């Protein structure tokens, strides 16, 4: 199966971050085929430059000044960023710095180049990148990472992915002290995917401090395995919930960690997976379109909730894994409109076959139609 990434990278100094196995190296090779490459996954390169970062400057003295320099897995040797900074400032060099975690870089107070580098993120495959061959059932079960989605049997690959993440991302980089506790935490976090997180409940079940659980979630954020979705609290007219929700970046990883079997339409797990996938598609569109609009959710203390609010309430979006949307399914959007009458688009993304519009002005869209309209700029631009 062929697919075409939608993320365009300029020929200038930039950071490219993304979860493991999203295809960062493949994209960089395709975008910068003539670049000079330094891969810190190679043990000899890692040891050499870790022991003497200044070797980078000496090595590049023999490389044409106009040639782009790609450094893969930059988080493994943050000290190199001082050399990179010098080479940008004094020799006008251009670098593409690629990695799967900014945590070690940031916590070590490493040089982030003082705004001299653009930031990009590469996520798993979007349905628009897969194109006509896209399968929702495959996406909800295997997830969006290329090496998982493209496999006929994805389960052993996802199991290996999680094991590698624990050994190479967490243990090798010393991101947490207690690996068994963190491993148990991953399962509990997966069970809370797409929900408001109770740090105290998870801490109690793990037998660790609440602060430790907060730090564990920040590890998931920093390694781009997950993301918090904040509550939309702008100009509230009624009492609203302020706590954020948490989503894993890949539903295949969630399925493995939560020990789900094959997801079948109609089940609660299928509905949660469908919501996670829509969050993924929104995240991809926000980044690759370069709009970087906010993605939040809205919930009243009384319980009424809208899954996603895009931008400053330009779009209120509900996600329903149903083949028939009924009047009861639109009530939360109507509650949101009471408080925010200027909202431009009220939408339910569903499994229905054809798009329609209710008397209340709510668009009920098949997921395929929603994705098409999203990328065409009909909702937010």
Domain-by-domain residue ranges, the chain? 14-121, 127-375
- For 126-170, the DSSP string reads -HHHHGGG--HHHHHHH-S-HHHHT-SS-HHHHHHHHHHIIIIII
Phi, psi of 260 (to 5 degrees): -80, 150
pLDDT per residue over 164-218, tens digit each? 999 888 887 778 889 999 999 999 999 999 999 999 999 999 999 999 999 999 9
pLDDT of residue 356: 98
Residue-wise pLDDT for 283-317, tens only, equals 999 999 999 999 999 999 999 999 999 999 999 99
* Main-chain dihedrals φ then ψ at residue 245, nearest 5 degrees: -105, 160
Q: How far apart are CA 204 and CA 215, in angstroms?
A: 15
Q: Which residue ranges of the chain lie beneath pLDDT 50?
A: 109
Say what the pLDDT of residue 169 is: 83
Pairing of strands 362-366, 14-17: unpaired
pTM of the model: 0.94
Asked whether 46 and 78 are in contact (CB, 8 A), the reply is no
Burial per residue of 203-224, b for 16 or more beta-carbon CB atoms within 10 angstroms, e otherwise: beebebeeebbeebbebbbbbb
Q: What CATH number belongs to 14-121?
A: 3.40.50.300
- Give the angle subtended at the CA of 362 by the CAs of 288 and 326, to the nearest 5°: 115
Question: Taking the C-alpha atoms of 136, 142, 148 and 151 in order, what is their torsion angle to the nearest 10 degrees?
Answer: -80
C-alpha separations of 204 from 200, 211, 213, 280, 346 in Å: 6, 12, 10, 30, 39
HSE on the CB side for 34, CA within 13 Å? 7
DSSP letter assigned to residue 84:
H
CA 22 to chain centre: 10
The pLDDT score that the predictor gives to residue 51 is 96
């Amino acid at each position: 199966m062929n697919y075409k990434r939608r993320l365009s990278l300029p020929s200038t100094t930039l950071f490219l971050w993304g979860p493991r196995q999203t295809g960062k190296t493949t994209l960089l090779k395709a975008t910068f085929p003539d670049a000079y490459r330094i891969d810190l996954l190679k043990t000899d390169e890692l040891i050499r430059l870790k022991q003497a970062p200044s070797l980078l400057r000496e090595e590049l003295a023999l490389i044409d000044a106009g040639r782009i320099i790609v450094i893969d897995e930059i988080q493994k040797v943050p000290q190199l960023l001082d050399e990179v900074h010098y080479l940008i400032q004094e020799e006008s060099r251009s670098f593409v710095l690629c990695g799967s975690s900014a945590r070690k870089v940031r916590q070590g107070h490493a040089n982030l180049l003082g705004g001299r580098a653009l930031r990009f993120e590469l996520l798993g495959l979007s349905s628009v990148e897969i194109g006509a061959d896209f399968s929702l059932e495959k996406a909800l079960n295997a997830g969006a990472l290329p090496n998982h989605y493209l496999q006929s049997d994805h389960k052993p690959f996802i199991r290996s992915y999680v094991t590698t993440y624990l050994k190479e991302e967490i243990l090798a980089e010393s991101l947490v002290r207690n690996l068994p506790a963190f491993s148990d935490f991953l399962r509990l976090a997966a069970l809370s995917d797409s929900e408001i997180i109770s740090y105290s409940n998870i801490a109690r079940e793990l037998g660790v401090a609440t602060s430790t659980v907060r730090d564990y979630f920040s590890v998931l954020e920093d390694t781009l395995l997950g993301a918090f979705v904040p509550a939309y609290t702008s100009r509230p007219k009624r009492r609203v919930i302020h706590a954020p929700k948490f989503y894993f970046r890949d539903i295949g990883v969630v399925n493995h960690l939560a020990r789900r079997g094959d997801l079948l339409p109609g089940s609660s797990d299928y509905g949660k997976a469908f919501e996670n996938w829509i969050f993924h598609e929104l995240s991809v569109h926000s980044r690759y379109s370069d709009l970087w609009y906010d993605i939040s959710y809205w919930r009243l203390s009384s319980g009424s909730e809208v899954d996603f609010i895009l931008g400053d309430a330009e779009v209120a979006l509900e996600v329903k894994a149903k083949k028939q949307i009924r009047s009861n399914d639109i009530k939360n959007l109507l509650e949101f409109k009471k408080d925010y009458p200027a909202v431009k688009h009220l939408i339910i993304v569903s499994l229905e076959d054809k798009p329609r519009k209710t008397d209340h002005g709510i668009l009920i869209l098949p997921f395929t139609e929603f994705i098409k309209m999203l990328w065409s700029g009909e909702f937010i631009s």
